[in-house]
């Protein structure tokens, strides 16, 4: 292992990696609506874990210091995401604030047993917010 | 059986994993539980440690412990240091690409 990593190379490779991931996820909102989304904020660790469909083994890849995507290693489909320091992130960045807000609303709709059109809209907004956060990273 | 531990990391600082945190972690992240026994070694003898400049978290990576399906991956442990002294394990994952940041190990 080299003593000093070449961060410029690492940055470029990482950016290309994230581009491949996003290219494989043009159907993210549709999959969220079809498979469902569950979220859990661990208040002890302040980590928000969001899972699309059933929990599964996944790679966890960083978008920025806060947002980490859970990826199926074979298809590169996003199967969830985690936010470190979630509450601080929500106060720091409006993008994270909206992500938390959308997840809260989806939870409320689920409690009401609603599969209403507004849920589909919220999934689309959630996918858009994640893309925006990635683009801003 | 408790699965918490305390280990001295490669920087000489104490890092802890609590039983409750680990149990909570593995319930929602299938496939990570099998790496529990090698987590101390990731912390004491990592290949690479990157500090995330935005959060101050330390990301410990070790290459030779983990595989996911046919993919060779990094075992990746996230440590948060309280007041830059003792630390605790916030999360443990498998990762394909190291996220850039400030290299802390090996010391450049």
Residues from chain B contacting residue A45 (CB–CB below 8 Å):
21, 24, 90-91
The predicted structure's pLDDT at residue B1: 65
State the Cα–Cα distance between residues B97 and B95, nearest whole angstrom.
Answer: 6
State the Cα–Cα distance between residues A31 and A37, nearest whole angstrom.
Answer: 9
State the Cα–Cα distance between residues B91 and B87, nearest whole angstrom.
Answer: 12
As beta bridge partners, residue B91 has B78
Mean pLDDT of A89-116: 83
- Nearest Cα of chain B lies from the Cα of A1 at a distance, in angstroms, of 7
pTM of the model: 0.92
Mean pLDDT of A92-121: 82
**pLDDT tens digits for B77-108?**
999 998 767 999 999 999 999 999 999 999 87
pLDDT band of residue A96 (cuts 50, 70, 90) is confident
Task: Indicate if ipTM > 0.95.
Answer: no
State the Cα–Cα distance between residues A90 and A51, nearest whole angstrom.
Answer: 19
Mean pLDDT of A26-34: 94
pLDDT band of residue A120 (cuts 50, 70, 90) is confident
Whether the Cβ atoms of residue B23 and residue B57 lie closer than 8 Å to each other: no
The partner residue sitting opposite A84, judged by closest CB among B53, B90, B100, is B90
State the Cα–Cα distance between residues A31 and A54, nearest whole angstrom.
Answer: 12
C-alpha torsion sign, points A96, A101, A105, A108: positive
Tell if the CB–CB gap between A57 and B47 is shorter than 8 Å. Answer: no
Whether the Cβ atoms of residue A9 and residue B103 lie closer than 8 Å to each other: no
Tell if the CB–CB gap between B97 and A14 is shorter than 8 Å. Answer: yes
- Nearest Cα of chain B lies from the Cα of A100 at a distance, in angstroms, of 19
The token duo for A52 is: 């699309």
The residue of chain A nearest to residue B94, with distances taken between CA atoms, is A59
- Nearest Cα of chain B lies from the Cα of A4 at a distance, in angstroms, of 5
The predicted structure's pLDDT at residue A114: 62
The partner residue sitting opposite A66, judged by closest CB among B20, B54, B90, is B54
The partner residue sitting opposite B106, judged by closest CB among A1, A42, A49, is A1
The partner residue sitting opposite A47, judged by closest CB among B90, B96, B98, is B90
The predicted structure's pLDDT at residue B85: 78
Residues from chain A contacting residue B31 (CB–CB below 8 Å):
56-58
pLDDT band of residue A73 (cuts 50, 70, 90) is very high
**pLDDT tens digits for B44-90?**
999 999 999 999 999 999 998 777 777 889 999 999 998 767 999 99
């Amino acid at each position: 292992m080299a003593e000093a990593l070449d961060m410029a190379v690492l940055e470029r490779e990482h950016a290309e990696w994230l581009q491949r991931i996003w290219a494989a996820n043009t159907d993210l909102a549709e999959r969220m609506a079809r498979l469902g989304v569950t979220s859990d904020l661990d208040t002890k660790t302040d980590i928000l874990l969001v899972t699309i469909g059933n929990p599964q083994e996944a790679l966890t890849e960083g978008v920025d210091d806060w947002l980490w995507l859970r990826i199926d290693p074979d298809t590169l489909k996003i199967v969830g995401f985690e936010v470190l320091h979630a509450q601080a992130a929500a106060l720091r960045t409006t993008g994270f604030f909206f992500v938390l807000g959308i997840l809260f609303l989806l939870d409320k709709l689920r409690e009401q047993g609603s599969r209403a059109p507004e849920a589909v809209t919220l999934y689309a907004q959630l996918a858009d917010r994640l893309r925006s956060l990635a683009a801003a990273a | 059986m408790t699965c918490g531990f305390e280990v001295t990391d490669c920087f000489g600082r104490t890092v802890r994993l609590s039983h409750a945190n680990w149990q909570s972690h593995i319930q929602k992240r299938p496939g990570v539980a099998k790496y529990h026994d090698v987590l101390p070694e990731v912390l004491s003898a990592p290949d690479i440690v990157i500090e995330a400049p935005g959060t101050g978290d330390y990301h410990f990576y070790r290459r030779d412990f983990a595989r996911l399906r046919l993919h060779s991956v990094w075992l990746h442990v996230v440590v948060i240091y309280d007041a830059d002294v003792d630390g605790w394990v916030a999360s443990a994952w498998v990762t394909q690409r190291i996220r850039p940041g400030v290299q802390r190990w090996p010391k450049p």
